[in-house]
Amino acid sequence: MSLGQALATAMSGLRVTQASLALVSSNVANAESPGYARKTLNQITGVTGDFGSSVRINGVNRELDQYLQTQIRTETSGASYAQVRSTYLANLQSVYGNPDSAGTIEDAFNKLTTAVQGLSTSPDSASARIGVVNAAQALAQQLNATTQGIQNLRANAETGINDSINVANNALKQIALINNQLQNNGRTDAATASLLDQRDQYIDQMSQLMDIRVVTNNLNQVTLFTNSGVQLVGTEAAQLSFNPQGTMTPNTLYDPNPLKNNVGTITIDFPHGGSYDLVATNAIRSGKLAAYLELRDNSLVKAQAQIDQFAASMSSALSDQTTTAVAAPASALPQAGFDLDLTGLQTGNVAHITYKDNITGLTHNLSIMRVDDPSILPLSNNATLDPKDEVLGIDFSGGMASVVTQLNAALGASASLQFSNPSGSTLRVLDDGATNRVDVTAASVTRTVSSLTSGSAQLPLFTDGGVAYTGALTATGAQQTGLAGRISVNGALIGDPSRTIVYSTSPLTAAGDTERSDFILNQLMTGSYRYSPESGIGTTGTPFTGTLLNFVRQVISMQGEAASSAALLADGQEVVLNTLQNKMNATSGVNIDDEMAHLLALQNSYSANARVMSTVKDMYDVLIAAM
């Protein structure tokens, strides 16, 4: 080997050693930096003839396990989803309160029943009457406050979506920018490795927000897709947009139909035109965004539906009066049936008819619901809570003649029933007489009592913001939706608490009469009711049935179990993520001890190359001196 070749070899060694020292310094300096991957130098042998004559730098390596990185991003999405849900459901538990403490729906309900018990014991006591009204007001206020708490959580979820979209758009923009920088430089030096670290951090941000799939090309550029296949970014970034709706109420609900939707939705606008609704197409399935959407549009909506159902069932239990129809007169023979008095029937109230089809042997339960908004017709059978009901919505706006026409058109030919209006508000339903195809076996009318002194024990103790709760259905939704936030005690009862006992003024209810207070207590304590499956309890075929207190406890129990399950899932996801992260740190993280050992080796290498250069210099000096 010539002296020149020896000098060149030593100098190449020094250059590589200096570059390695710079990487060790960078590794140590960034040991605690999030997203930093340990860097090493890729060295190759320079060959002259048949022998290696130098060492050359062939790029900078990032010590990265890409398969493990993909797993971490998948688990990051799952952990973010689980953590957000766990936090919100824990907060929902705080809204409901501890079942064993004051300031809960159950506590307020128990205090109302205790007050009514006291009234039945002392019906003439003014303080007992006022006590019932005050307890009812406290329960209504508790339902109002619970509604506000739930809607605040939904509003927070909407804000969370908006903030996440801003983070996502910035991350997508930065990923596209780095992709273009990589395309332009074509190198694998330390600066490029640093760019890849930065890009990975933005990709990791995206994995927290949604489930993503990353595809890398031969230029080290990446393309991000959602797992549903929507492209988010390549060398150009798509733009996500969100239209938050501000104040959240029980009636602001998501609907895939844009004309009916009144909450924010997420739209992606592609760089070269076109857009896509990511919510309507269920394109986001994990991460924070998916959790916020699920909470806003499902879990918290069901929580609201549960307390709305309780408020509706309690209101109806006290104000609904069912009257059995009277048999049709003998003049109707050979047809037989019933006369139903529809006086006072309000929108949402129902007339019930039971008839038997003698050909098939089947018994039909027909519920005829008064509807004042014909745009919602026809009604589905789940408009009532009885799974055996066949529901028929009838528009009453045209009077009794129109009602009869609608009923005969709907049931005359198919069910062989005949309807007529003999007088006033009477609806007569008859079978088919001699042909004996059907028999009308029972009929009744359930109407909402709107007066405190109707002569019956029923009373509108609770109102929907001052108007009667009748279970009305309109194009804007069911009256039940959001009722818990609007429920209040009847203003007339607050002005005259004696009506908690006095149900008739002509004749005047006798002193000491406890019929009304006993009725209220029975309805609250032992009355059994069906509850809508929209609350998440029970199913359409087998709706949950029980007392009001049973339903409240079922709601609290279900929410407690949901919060516990969400917390366990979040903890489990965190364990999995931490385990994977520890494995990644072992592969890609900086170990200070290893770096110090490497530093010592580099120092020795530097000294050896420097010694070679010094020796070559000395030999040149000797040769020059000898000339």
| 432-455 residue pLDDT tens | 887 888 999 999 999 999 999 999
Contact 444, 320 (CB under 8 A): no
For residue 598, pLDDT over 90 is answered with: no
Q: What is the mean predicted confidence (pLDDT) over 615-623?
A: 73
d(CA 548, CA 521): 12
Q: What is the pLDDT of residue 470?
A: 97
| 51-94 residue pLDDT tens | 556 666 656 667 677 888 899 999 999 999 999 999 999 999 99
Q: What is the pLDDT of residue 383?
A: 84
For residue 517, pLDDT over 60 is answered with: yes
CA distances, 349 to each of 6, 405, 463, 543 (Å): 103, 19, 15, 20
For residue 379, pLDDT over 80 is answered with: yes
Among 138-142, 144-148, 406-410, 620-624, whose mean pLDDT is lowest?
620-624
Close Cβ partners of 89 (under 8 Å, ≥ 6 residues apart): 299, 559, 562, 563, 566, 567
| 565-575 residue pLDDT tens | 999 999 999 99
Among 322-331, 443-452, 611-620, whose mean pLDDT is lowest?
611-620
Contact 119, 129 (CB under 8 A): yes
For residue 391, pLDDT over 90 is answered with: yes
Q: What is the pLDDT of residue 594?
A: 64
d(CA 123, CA 498): 9
CA distances, 74 to each of 34, 204, 577 (Å): 18, 10, 9
Average pLDDT score over the chain: 89
Among 37-41, 66-70, 411-415, 457-461, whose mean pLDDT is lowest?
37-41
Q: What is the pLDDT of residue 57?
A: 60
d(CA 183, CA 72): 27
Position with higher pLDDT, 463 vs 245: 463
d(CA 190, CA 213): 26
Q: Is 195 helix (H, G, I), strand (E, B) or coil?
A: helix
Pure H helices in 186-255: 190-209
CA distance between the termini of the chain:
21
Instruction: Please name which of 556, 531, 534 lies closest in space to residue 544, comparing C-alpha atoms.
Output: 531
Q: What is the mean predicted confidence (pLDDT) over 169-198?
A: 83
Among 33-47, 296-310, 440-454, 555-569, whose mean pLDDT is lowest?
33-47
Q: What is the pLDDT of residue 43?
A: 61
Q: What are phi and psi of 208, to 5 degrees?
A: -70, -30
**Burial classification of residue 469, based on how many CB atoms lie within 10 Å of its CB (0-12 exposed, 13-18 middle, 19 or more buried):** buried
Q: What is the pLDDT of residue 29?
A: 66
Q: What is the pLDDT of residue 40?
A: 67
For residue 534, pLDDT over 90 is answered with: no
For residue 1, pLDDT over 60 is answered with: no
Q: What is the mean predicted confidence (pLDDT) over 355-369?
A: 93
Token pair for 138:
């406290």
For residue 48, pLDDT over 60 is answered with: no
For residue 50, pLDDT over 60 is answered with: no
Q: What is the mean predicted confidence (pLDDT) over 12-32?
A: 66
Q: What is the mean predicted confidence (pLDDT) over 230-259?
A: 92
Close Cβ partners of 71 (under 8 Å, ≥ 6 residues apart): 580
For residue 20, pLDDT over 70 is answered with: no
| 480-495 residue pLDDT tens | 999 999 999 999 999 9
Q: What is the pLDDT of residue 27?
A: 63
Position with higher pLDDT, 26 vs 550: 550
Q: What is the mean predicted confidence (pLDDT) over 539-547?
A: 90
Close Cβ partners of 432 (under 8 Å, ≥ 6 residues apart): 335, 416, 417, 418, 438
d(CA 593, CA 591): 6
Contact 30, 17 (CB under 8 A): no
| 130-163 residue pLDDT tens | 999 999 999 999 999 999 999 999 999 999 999 9
Angle value at C-alpha 192, between 606 and 240, nearest 5 degrees? 155
Position with higher pLDDT, 591 vs 281: 281
Amino acid at 47: V
Contact 574, 83 (CB under 8 A): yes
- Residue 219 pLDDT grade (very low, low, confident, very high; cuts 50, 70, 90): confident
Q: What is the pLDDT of residue 476?
A: 87
Cite the beta strand spans of 467-620 per DSSP E. 473-474, 477-478, 487-489, 529-530, 545-546
Radius of gyration in angstroms for the set of CA atoms belonging to the chain, rounded to a whole number: 38
CA distances, 452 to each of 504, 513, 516, 613 (Å): 8, 15, 10, 109
d(CA 424, CA 414): 27
